[in-house]
Amino acid sequence: MRSPRSFLPALVAASAVLLAACAETEQEGGGGTGAAAPASEYPTEDITLYVPYAPGGPTDLAARTVGDCLAEDFGSAVVVENREGASGSLGMQAMIQGGNDGHSLSLIAVPASATNPLQEDVGYTNEDYVPIAAVTEIPSVLAVGEGSRFADAEAFFAAAEQSPGQVTVGVPGATTSQAMELQRLAEEYGVEVARVPFSGNAEMTTALLGGNVDAVFINASKDVLENIEAGSFVPLAISPAERVDYLPDVPTLAELGYPELTNSVSVFGLAAPAGAPEEVLQTLEDGVRACLEKPEVVETLGDQYVPDSFIGQQEFQARIDEIVEVYGPLLQD
């Protein structure tokens, strides 16, 4: 929101008009004030959109799809640069160093972007960036392999209760939302499983199909949905508060008796450095909203992953705040 401004009394109105006219003349004549161009002219140069992860992944796809759309709508190039490494922090650092005039942006992956600075010094804090709009959201799914001894979610959780720490579940990293939700499962509901961290979906898939873990708690990305459709994965539960229409028969964890476990949903969206002009942020938010209304953009991103209700600046910030509130204490223990 824009900050309220105080206005000069009518007694000095003429002086204010004169000063404004002088400032406008300096801008038009290239005066040496060093001020940025008015936000109404944004963008005035190419936009760099950093991706804190390697090419080819869901963040990369989201960035390039929306970047191409914004470039077409804005009439200015959006250059996507992959700066993978350090759990996504290198891309965030590059964005912040690029300045806060709106020409340096990053794709963020929440919860990761919000939880990274809670664990260690990664070169930025959650106060150093502001979210613009979400592009996609991907829930997590608890799945077992074909022929598993667990016929359904009830059998899985019953076994976990009867044999604490004996049922093994693969997760994409020790401090991911999936791992932290399973930690909360133990601490808040007394159901303890053994969390087995992997580097990503590919390793987790191999481990599950090879019988090295009993289950996986994994992003329901396209490769996972393909395994479910093929019958290699059998979904037991889904992480959002409500069921998803592309897995309509899969109950939520909340339905199964764990109402607090709804935060393991990866939200990918755009962010800018803190201090970016509100008018620029609004222009970008409106631009993303327009892109997500285009059928070709939705098809490329995956219709199932584009939020049903648009998630703008305020809603996206609320998501980040909730993640920090819920996961912060777990990460700092």
Q: What is the pLDDT of residues 64-82, one digit of tens each?
A: 999 999 999 999 999 999 9
**Cis peptide leading into residue 235 (ω within 30°):** no
> 275: left (phi > 0), else alpha (psi -120 to 50), else beta?
left
Give the residue-averaged pLDDT of 245-252. 97
- Please say whether the beta carbons of 298 and 128 come within 8 A: no
pLDDT category of residue 173 using cuts at 50, 70 and 90: confident
**Which helix (H) or strand (E) is 141 found in, with range?**
strand 129-145
Domain covering 42-137+266-331 assigned CATH 3.40.190.150 in the classification: yes
Please report the pLDDT score of residue 98 as a whole number: 97
The two tokens of residue 203 are 């390793």
Let me know the angle formed at the C-alpha of 96 by 38 and 282, rounded to the nearest 5 degrees.
Answer: 40
106, burial (CB in 10 Å: exposed 0-12, middle 13-18, buried 19+): buried
- Report how far residue 83's alpha carbon sits from residue 255's, in angstroms, rounded to the nearest whole number: 39
Residue 1 confidence class, pLDDT cut points 50, 70, 90: very low
Is 80 exceeded by the pLDDT of residue 17? no
Q: Domain limits of the chain?
A: 42-137+266-331, 139-238
At residue 305, the pLDDT reads: 96
Q: Do domains 42-137+266-331 and 139-238 have the same CATH topology?
A: yes
Q: What is the mean pLDDT of residues 159-183?
A: 94
Whether 124 shows a pLDDT value over 90: the answer reads yes
41: pLDDT confidence band, cut at 50, 70 and 90? confident
117-121, 211-215, 319-323: lowest mean pLDDT where?
117-121
Q: Taking residues 38-62, what's their average pLDDT?
A: 87
Relative to beta strand 168-171, strand 104-110 is unpaired
Helical packing angle, 222-230 and 201-209, nearest 10°: 20
Give the list of residues 6+ apart from residue 236 with CB closer than 8 angstroms, or none. 141, 142, 143, 144, 150, 152, 153, 156, 215, 250
Distances (CA, A) of 280 to 37, 48, 195, 275: 11, 15, 43, 11
pLDDT number for residue 35: 45
Residue 87 has pLDDT above 80, yes or no: no
- Of 3.40.190.100, 3.40.50.1000, 3.40.50.300, 3.40.190.10, which CATH number belongs to 139-238? 3.40.190.10
Mean pLDDT score of the chain: 88
Average pLDDT, stretch 289-301? 97
For residue 233, pLDDT beyond 70? yes
**With bands split at pLDDT 50, 70 and 90, how would you rate the model's confidence at 38?**
low
Beta-carbon count within 10 A of 119 CB: 13
- Any idea how long the chain is? 333
Percent of the chain topping pLDDT 70:
88
State the SS3 of 87-121.
HHHHHHHHHHHCCCCCCEEEEEEECHHHHHHHHCC
pLDDT digits (tens, 9 = 90+) for 20-30: 444 444 444 33
Flag whether pLDDT at 228 surpasses 80. yes
